């Protein structure tokens, strides 16, 4: 008996004559273990096929047969067995064999770990498949023996013989073959740039958002040379979508089989974007990725570029130009500041804007109900808000979006735009970390650039919580520079902010803070809604007017080619600021 490295053993008995038996053990020269192709559906099968030659005269040996897989077959000319071993809880075995009948068909017996699992009669004289169920097998290593034990011979008449080409063990899949809608089926392979070998890891993943660095995605995956493929079905609303992929190294992104991003090359972490109109329904998203040395990054996502617009603001009184009035940093229980400024709103017609931090301390539903709603909430029906950092002290700013509803835009975004007369108005979300960033290639900046490009109005105003420029306690918020770059490039006129609890007006300036009376944006910090007061230690460049002890609202009258501003103070205070300027 000779065991091949595969673990296969061939045993046999040989009859010199029918009456005298002599045991002969013949060692096969080789036994090749062939793994059947495993497709992407995850089928798990192992085929063991004899591929060797032996001495003539053996009653169990390998001989040539062009009809057999690989051109050879195991021939049982007398009682004998083929032995092997396998790993896993196999559920069935399929024998590919043929028989030579002699007063009955040859029979093969199948033993696992020494126990008889069943028998197979080889009823066909040509190769055919015979399947036998296996039951109760556990994980681990098992012995397998296939035996021919009903040898029969009639001299000069017939000889019953069995021939085995191969046998296939069906093993239960240990990896997912499909994933629920809304998940990716991810498959990782230890190869470079191609997908020809078997996956070393398959699993369901809810998102593609990985920065592995120099580490491996999982045990068994080569950290310096691997590919990954993600395929999933996802529900979409009808809209234009922006698809984003970030990769170090190569990446390809497909939607319904259409290649949208094709950057199959060695590179450092780089972000790419593509847009596509998607119909309502379920669509397939596929991402291919490879890593070749160094750091590994793989990210993919998508976001709607268009959304249902918020309800339009109420029209201005007949024959008059539109008015906007508002502030930020507003309602704090039990402070009376919000009630003082709410009374100002009650007496001024027009659209109410907010520049964030609407309800302290955390923008909870209770704080909106008890602090904001009894004050500024009296004018909720004409309010077009923006969120601040205190709103996001509640997860997802759910209190804010729940209170304002559609007027606040989509909860995943919190930014939107609308028109008032000859003015285009943009409400942005400066909580960058909650909306995918505010910098170059971020979803909000991409949306803003497209919104500005489509704008046909003569004048443009934007409002959001964090100011790029401020002399107050929080100071300049550089994270908003890319937003200013886009607004400045499109010729915007006015930016309104909060965050610092004071009032400050700047001269028109560029995104870098340079005085620019020709094309610059005039910024107002209006954190005077009633929450509290902050001080100002010293004035920053281009700061023209400042106040730190007066609650109030900023009223803007929007003419066709110009605007007027007026700071309206709470009752009993005398500070005010007013002026006019032309649109660019």
- DSSP of 32-54: EEEPPP--TT---EEEEEE----
The pLDDT, as a whole number, for residue 102 is 93
The pLDDT, as a whole number, for residue 175 is 62
The pLDDT, as a whole number, for residue 280 is 87
Q: Which helix (H) or strand (E) holds 425?
A: strand 423-427
For 9-170, the fitting CATH number among 3.20.20.70, 2.60.120.260, 3.30.479.10, 2.40.50.140 is 2.60.120.260
188 C-beta neighbours (distance < 10 Å), count: 22
The pLDDT, as a whole number, for residue 149 is 85
The pLDDT, as a whole number, for residue 22 is 27
Decide whether 9-170 matches 323-582 in CATH topology. no
433 C-beta neighbours (distance < 10 Å), count: 10
174 C-beta neighbours (distance < 10 Å), count: 11
The pLDDT, as a whole number, for residue 248 is 94
Tokens at residue 562, please? 């110009």
Hey, is 176 helix, strand or coil?
coil
The pLDDT, as a whole number, for residue 11 is 35
- DSSP of 477-538: -GGGHHHHHHHHHTT--EEEE-SSSSEEEE--B-TTS-B-TTTPBEEEEE--SSS-----SS
Is 303 within 8 Å of 348 (Cβ atoms)?
Answer: no
549 C-beta neighbours (distance < 10 Å), count: 11
Sheet of 201-205: strand order equals: 201-205, 184-189, 225-236, 281-292, 250-255, 258-263
The pLDDT, as a whole number, for residue 52 is 35
The pLDDT, as a whole number, for residue 315 is 64
The tens digit of pLDDT for each residue in 482-528 reads 999 999 999 999 999 999 999 999 999 999 999 999 999 999 999 99
Please identify every stretch of the chain with a pLDDT value under 50, giving residue numbers as ranges: 1-57
348 C-beta neighbours (distance < 10 Å), count: 16
The pLDDT, as a whole number, for residue 49 is 40
Cα–chain center distance at 86: 38
184-304: CATH number? 2.60.120.260
For residue 345, give the nearest of 362, 324, 329, 320 by alpha carbon: 324
Q: For the purposes of burial, counting CB atoms within 10 Å of the CB of 335, is it exposed (0-12), middle (13-18) or buried (19 or more)?
A: middle
The tens digit of pLDDT for each residue in 523-539 reads 999 999 999 999 999 99
Instruction: Kindly list the distances between the CA atom of residue 273 and the CA atoms of 245, 289, 414, 483, 524, in Å, as whole numbers in the listed order.
Output: 6, 16, 21, 18, 34
Q: Phi-psi region for residue 407, left (φ > 0), alpha (ψ -120 to 50) or beta?
A: alpha
β-partners of residue 154 are 158
Q: Where do the domains of the chain lie?
A: 9-170, 184-304, 323-582
Domain 323-582: CATH class, spelled out: alpha beta
Q: Are strands 552-558 and 323-327 parallel, antiparallel or unpaired?
A: antiparallel
Return the C-alpha torsion angle 58, 60, 63, 66, nearest 10: 150
The pLDDT, as a whole number, for residue 168 is 79
């Amino acid at each position: 008996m000779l065991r091949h490295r595969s673990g296969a053993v061939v045993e046999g008995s040989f009859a010199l004559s029918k009456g005298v038996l002599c045991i002969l053990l013949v060692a096969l020269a080789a036994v090749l273990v062939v793994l059947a192709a495993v497709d992407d559906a995850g089928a798990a099968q192992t085929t063991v096929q004899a591929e060797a030659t032996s001495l003539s005269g053996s009653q169990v040996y390998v001989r040539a047969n062009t009809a057999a897989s690989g051109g050879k077959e195991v021939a049982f000319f007398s009682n004998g067995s083929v032995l092997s071993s396998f790993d896993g809880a196999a559920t069935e075995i399929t024998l590919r064999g043929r028989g030579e009948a002699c007063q009955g068909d040859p029979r093969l017996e199948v033993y696992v770990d020494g126990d008889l699992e069943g028998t197979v009669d080889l009823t066909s004289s040509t190769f055919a498949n015979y399947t036998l169920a296996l039951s109760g097998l556990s994980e681990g290593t098992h012995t397998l023996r296939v035996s021919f034990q009903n040898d029969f011979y009639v001299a000069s008449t017939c000889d019953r013989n069995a021939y085995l080409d191969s046998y296939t063990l069906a093993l239960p899949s240990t990896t997912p073959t499909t994933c629920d809608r809304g998940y990716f089926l991810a498959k990782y392979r230890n190869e470079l740039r191609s997908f020809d070998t078997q996956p070393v890891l398959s699993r369901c993943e809810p998102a593609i958002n990985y920065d592995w660095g120099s580490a491996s995605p999982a045990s068994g995956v080569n950290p310096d040379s691997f590919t990954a493929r993600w395929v999933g079905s996802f529900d979409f609303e009808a809209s234009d979508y922006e698809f984003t992929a970030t990769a170090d190294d190569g990446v390809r992104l497909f939607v319904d089989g259409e290649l949208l991003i094709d950057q199959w090359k060695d590179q450092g972490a780089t972000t790419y974007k593509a847009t596509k109109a998607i119909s309502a329904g379920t669509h397939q998203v596929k991402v291919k990725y490879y890593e070749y040395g160094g750091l590994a990054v793989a990210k993919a996502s998508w976001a709607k570029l268009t959304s249902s617009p918020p309800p339009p603001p109420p029209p201005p009184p007949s024959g008059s130009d539109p008015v906007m009035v508002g502030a930020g940093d507003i309602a704090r229980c039990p402070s009376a500041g919000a009630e003082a400024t709410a009374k100002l709103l009650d007496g001024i017609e027009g659209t109410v804007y907010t520049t964030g931090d609407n309800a302290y301390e955390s923008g909870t539903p209770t704080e909106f109900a008890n602090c904001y709603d009894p004050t500024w909430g009296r004018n909720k029906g004409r309010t077009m808000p923006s969120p601040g950092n205190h709103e996001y002290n509640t997860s997802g700013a759910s209190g804010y979006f729940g209170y304002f509803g559609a007027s606040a835009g989509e909860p995943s975004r919190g930014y939107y735009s609308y028109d008032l007369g000859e003015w285009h108005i943009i409400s942005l979300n400066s909580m960058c970390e909650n909306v995918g960033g505010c910098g170059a290639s971020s979803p909000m900046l991409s949306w803003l650039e497209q919104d500005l490009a489509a704008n046909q109005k003569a004048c443009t105003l934007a409002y959001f919580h964090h100011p790029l420029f401020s002399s107050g306690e929080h100071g300049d918020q550089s994270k908003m520079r890319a937003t200013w770059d886009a607004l400045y490039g499109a010729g915007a006129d006015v930016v309104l902010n909060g965050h610092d609890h004071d009032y400050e007006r700047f001269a028109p300036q560029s995104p870098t803070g340079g005085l620019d009376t020709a094309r610059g944006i005039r910024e107002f910090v209006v954190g005077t809604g009633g929450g509290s007061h902050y001080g100002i230690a010293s004035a920053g460049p281009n700061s023209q007017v400042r106040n730190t002890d007066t609650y109030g609202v900023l009223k803007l009258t929007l003419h066709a080619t110009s605007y007027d501003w007026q700071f309206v103070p709470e009752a009993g205070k005398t500070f005010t600021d007013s002026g006019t300027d032309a649109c660019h």
